[in-house]
């Protein structure tokens, strides 16, 4: 790719790297000879992924088992990087989860944890790692949002709102960083075959049963191209792009009703 590999060994940090889009992005980075820092809660799965990627691509992979729902998780990640004198060239903020159901019936701790992982940890980690990128005048950030970022989502109110933050934050930051050598890309996938649906309690929703669900590898490939092209927003899939356009055209009441019906269990 266009990064200067002669400067030093390039390193990418990927959160939510145990499976799905996060792992697929890590595999693409490994293919292009980035050393990796894999972050997630499941140390055993992360270690298995690390061994696989090291064996296949001859790179070095560090594993950081961190729960991003903890308020000090980002600080802990950066402290570990500093201790090992590891600089980050590419930051992939992929970790996130959702919950399907009526907000009034939700567990408050679960909703607050979702905000911590989807919003606060993403912003916190970006703020801690960004200054070094700007100082080097080189760096790339990929924030995984969702097509959910483009409209409100009844039955998944907090999740949709959190992804709206990710998209807005990413686009604003990309503009702030114009001319610095650092780019920010928001990846906005639609329904994707990952562990997300099970975690969110969406196993029986109409959205999950859609014939237009994409696979994680295809989504990751689109996001990876956008990342290295410096594209600010990437919505993989023609249907997903059409849906985001319809959200702007259709009456808000109709959009809300459609989404509520999609998320019925």
Q: pLDDT tens digit string along 22-68?
A: 999 999 999 999 999 999 999 999 999 999 999 999 999 999 999 99
User: How far apart, in Å, are the Cα atoms of 102 and each of 40, 108, 160, 206?
Assistant: 28, 12, 13, 16
Per-residue pLDDT at 264: 66
- Residue 7's pLDDT band, with cuts at 50, 70 and 90, is very low
Is residue 258 predicted with pLDDT exceeding 90?
no
Domain annotation for the chain: domains and CATH numbers: 11-262 (3.40.50.720)
User: How far apart, in Å, are the Cα atoms of 138 and each of 160, 174, 177?
Assistant: 31, 13, 11
Angle at 84 between CA 81 and CA 85, to 5 degrees: 80
Enumerate the active-site residues: 159
Higher pLDDT, 253 or 23: 23
- Residue 3's pLDDT band, with cuts at 50, 70 and 90, is very low
Contact 194, 19 (CB under 8 A): yes
Mean pLDDT of 2-24: 80
pLDDT digits (tens, 9 = 90+) for 140-162: 999 999 999 998 899 999 999 99
Is residue 205 predicted with pLDDT exceeding 80?
no
Contact 183, 230 (CB under 8 A): yes
Per-residue pLDDT at 170: 98
Distance CA 197, CA 189 (A): 14
Per-residue pLDDT at 193: 80
- pTM across the whole model: 0.87
Contact 64, 41 (CB under 8 A): no
- Residue 4's pLDDT band, with cuts at 50, 70 and 90, is very low
- Residue 76's pLDDT band, with cuts at 50, 70 and 90, is very high
pLDDT digits (tens, 9 = 90+) for 224-241: 999 999 999 999 988 888
Per-residue pLDDT at 200: 44
Angle at 236 between CA 233 and CA 57, to 5 degrees: 95
pLDDT digits (tens, 9 = 90+) for 163-203: 999 999 999 999 999 999 999 999 999 988 865 555 544 55
pLDDT digits (tens, 9 = 90+) for 96-141: 999 999 999 999 999 999 999 999 999 999 999 999 999 999 999 9
> What CA dihedral angle connects 88, 176, 222 and 262, to 10 degrees?
120
Is residue 216 predicted with pLDDT exceeding 90?
yes
């Amino acid at each position: 790719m266009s990064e200067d590999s002669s400067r030093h060994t390039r390193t990418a940090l990927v959160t939510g790297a145990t499976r799905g889009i996060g792992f697929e992005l890590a595999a693409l980075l490994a293919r292009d000879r980035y050393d990796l820092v894999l972050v997630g809660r499941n140390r055993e799965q992360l270690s298995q992924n690390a061994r696989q990627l090291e064996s296949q691509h001859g790179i070095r992979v560090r594993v950081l088992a961190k729960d991003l729902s903890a308020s000090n998780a980002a600080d802990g990640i950066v402290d570990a990087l500093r201790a090992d004198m590891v600089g980050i060239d590419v930051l992939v903020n992929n970790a996130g989860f959702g919950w399907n159901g009526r907000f009034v019936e939700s567990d408050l701790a679960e909703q607050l944890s979702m905000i911590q992982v989807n919003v606060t940890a993403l912003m916190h980690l970006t703020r801690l790692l960004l200054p070094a990128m700007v100082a080097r005048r080189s760096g790339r950030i990929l924030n995984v949002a969702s097509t959910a970022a483009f409209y409100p989502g009844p039955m998944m109110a907090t999740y949709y709102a959190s992804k709206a933050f990710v998209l807005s934050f990413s686009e604003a930051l990309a503009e702030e960083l114009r001319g610095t050598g650092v780019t920010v890309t928001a990846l906005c996938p639609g329904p994707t075959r990952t562990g997300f649906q099970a975690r969110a309690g969406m196993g029986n929703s109409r959205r999950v049963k859609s014939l237009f669900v994409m696979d994680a590898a295809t989504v990751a490939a689109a996001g990876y191209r956008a990342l290295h092209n410096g594209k600010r927003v990437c919505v993989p899939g023609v249907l997903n792009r059409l849906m985001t356009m319809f959200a702007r055209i259709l009456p808000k009441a109709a959009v809300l009703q459609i989404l509520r019906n999609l998320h019925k269990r």
